[in-house]
Structure 1
């Protein structure tokens, strides 16, 4: 065993000048890369925060718009009742208005439920069927090729 082998095996051996230079070079190369990664992460956090604040504001404004839409709908119902009351008794005008709004509500509800049923659960049935067909055709193809060969 040479003396250099013995020196390398000691746990308290001092790093050589070359090892120190390599470590310094690695640190100089890695440090800007780590700084760039940290800056990108900080930038992404700021951007996500800004987008979340914007989305929150949008949701609040949309909620306010829905509240105003419902108020407008109530006012429209009152307007229709008043117009019908010009030619019909008040009770008939109110009854017709409620019936029309109830029918529209029911139709919207049924159409909405159909859309939900089509979308839930969100399983890509057509894609699964096509994939199964491709797999069955792929498993058939090698056996055809083997029979010819």
Structure 2
């Protein structure tokens, strides 16, 4: 098991492939250090996972803000197009409508990409870390957890 990889050492063994056995007392004395290392590792994993999810959420929020800015500009262009349509004949308002259509496409693309990115980062829960902690608890209790996948 990878959890107890540090308890058995091959470095001092002879040419055979048998791991060096440690006494029960030695194993029990190294248990608090092992638990500390597991807890620290899980905390670091949780931090890394939260940072990654919050970065994805930040990108999504930024893209949605960009979409909102372009939507505001779109509204201004549509208002200008309406004013031009009333005040003149065909060419000026047609140009304004073409610009508005281009801005509408930009708003739609930014909004869709932003929502997709925001969904990747929400909820900011460290799911992998929670699964690993549960697996570690089962291992420390001496239970076999068939539902959990092995960690790489």
TM-score past 0.5 threshold: no
TM-score, with normalisation over the residues of structure 2? 0.37
Instruction: Specify which structure has the higher proportion of helix.
Output: 1
TM-score, with normalisation over the residues of structure 1? 0.38
Higher RCO (C-alpha under 8 Å, 6+ residues apart): 2
Larger radius of gyration: 1
